[in-house]
Amino acid sequence: MTRVALAFSGGLDTTVCVPLLEEEYGYDDVIGVTVDVGQPAEEFDEAEATAEALGLEHYVVDAREEFARLCLESVRANATYQGYPLGTALARPVIAKAILEVAEEQDCTGIAHGCTGKGNDQLRFEAVWRDSDLEVIAPVRELGLTREWEKEYAAEKDLPVEGGSGGDWSIDTNLWSRSVEGDDLEDPNYVPPTDIYAWTQDPSDETEEIEITFENGYPVAVDGTEYEPVELIEYLNELAGSYGVGRTDMMEDRMLGLKVRENYEHPGATTLLNAHEALEGLVLTQEERQFKQQIDQQWSQKAYEGLIDAPLVSALEAFIDETQKRVTGTVTIRFEGGQARPVARDSKFAAYSAEHASFDTETVGKIKQEDATGVAKYHGFQRRLANEAIAANADEEVELATDGSGDDE
Ligand code: ARG
């Protein structure tokens, strides 16, 4: 008996994959796997109910802890892609690994997803699965299915598909972010109605301040109360969401080169990312901050690609670990006008001396104001010479080769 494991959500795409894997790919048996990375309870109910109606053997794997830890790693890398905190991207390798484990335990010879051939998720899933010997199957992509065709096929086969929880939008939710795309949102010039938002209220005049504690770059407590990663993220999503923090409406460049119009909500992520960056601003030196921007950007790029296990990422993390040894302290965040704004920061590792920087002190230790005079004389010296030379020769005609002269061919 041949078995195939399917990444199963209970939505239209993955539901039509169930009979197709038998009819078109010749498998005797399909098992569905849903991985919990913090989706709302209704999604599991929907998956459960659909699986039952299909007579599908269904497994649910709880990966919230592992996923939450990865999200907090991303905070240490100040990770965003074109402004988006990477919720979907970070979740995919975690989900893919969990499904692969079930597939292997259940003696499957195939593994399948319901992603289309246009998005990023097909690439992220398959990067993990193609490390194994299982046959990787992507029915929607391989059979060229459209949503219209899927709806007709589902009706014909009497498959249990309802409108889905989010109307015609395609929604992807996990602990770190909620993404809404598709349907009328595909028009970049269309202003989204507020009912696309589920995590964030429209900002009001209310404000609130909280203090976040970091240890080695990891957020560990809010207002002195310690939280485990999952609880911390859930708590901040709720709190910051009530102040309208963390909405992003953007054009995103996908890996295949296509642009997509995306709407995201990520109140907890925005709060933690802003706070973390503020603390780095206090403790890291200028040169560390500047270099780390490049490291963070590379980390984010690999995360977007779903390639978080690349050797490059380990190397980047070696640098990140070294810098985060001093990212210990507290940051006060004020929720105000839809923002999570750092308004205070404190660390015993501050690379800052109020005494030295202050306008109110003349001499501190060995440094006096007048010591800067020599530096001021040299600052910009080379460009002064260059500009003087340009000015001195300004009236000379300079001949420019404009038409390929000097080109022998
Ligand atoms: N474009 C985003 C990414 O690739 C998120 C896509 C989420 N999917 C969805 N059906 N809303 O990371």
Which tens digit of pLDDT belongs to each residue from 207-257?
999 999 999 999 999 999 999 999 999 999 999 999 999 999 999 999 999
pLDDT at 211: 98
Which residue's alpha carbon is at the smallest distance from atom 5 of ligand 1?
88
Given a cut of 60, whether residue 405 has pLDDT beyond it is no
Active site residue 13: yes
b/e per residue 175-184 (b: at least 16 CB within 10 A): bbbbbbbbee
- Ligand 1 center to 2 CA (angstroms): 32
Domain with CATH 3.40.50.620 in the chain: 3-170
The half-sphere exposure of 364 on its side-chain side, counting CA atoms within 13 A, is: 9
Pick the CATH number of 3-170 from 3.40.50.620, 3.50.50.60, 3.30.450.40, 3.40.50.740: 3.40.50.620
Q: What Cα–Cα distance (Å) separates residue 229 from each residue in 65, 67, 129, 232?
A: 7, 9, 27, 5
- Contact predicate 36/60, CB 8 Å: yes
Strands lying side by side in the sheet with 178-181:
170-173, 178-181, 259-265, 247-253
CATH number for the region 173-346 comes to 3.90.1260.10
Residue 160, classified by CB atoms within 10 Å of its CB into exposed (0-12), middle (13-18) or buried (19+), is middle
| Helix (DSSP H) and strand (DSSP E) numbers for the chain | 14, 16
pTM: 0.94
Q: What Cα–Cα distance (Å) separates residue 102 from each residue in 61, 110, 112, 130?
A: 9, 12, 12, 15
Q: Is 163 helix (H, G, I), strand (E, B) or coil?
A: coil
What does residue 36 show for φ and ψ, rounded to 5 degrees? -85, 110
The mean of the pLDDT values for the chain is: 94
Take residue 365 and report the two structure tokens written for it.
């230790």
Take residue 245 and report the two structure tokens written for it.
């923090």
- Contact predicate 281/345, CB 8 Å: yes
Handedness of CA 381, 385, 386, 392 (dihedral sign): positive
- What length is written for the chain? 409
171 close to ligand 1 (CB < 6 Angstrom): yes
CA R_g for the chain:
27
Residue bearing tokens 């199963």: 8
DSSP codes, 140-162:
HHHTT--HHHHHHHHHHTT----
Active site residue 92: yes
Whole-number percent of the chain with pLDDT over 90: 89
Q: What is the pLDDT of residues 279-326, one digit of tens each?
A: 999 999 999 999 999 999 999 999 999 999 999 999 999 999 999 999
Q: What is the pLDDT of residues 45-73, one digit of tens each?
A: 999 999 999 999 999 999 999 999 999 99
Domain with CATH 3.90.1260.10 in the chain: 173-346
- Contact predicate 28/2, CB 8 Å: yes
173 close to ligand 1 (CB < 6 Angstrom): no
pLDDT at 368: 86
Question: Ligand 1, from 94, 170, 172, 261: best to mutate by most atoms within 8 Å of Cβ?
Answer: 172
Beta bridge partners of 84: 81
Beta bridge partners of 210: 333
CA pair distance 67, 341, nearest whole angstrom: 26
Active site residue 223: no
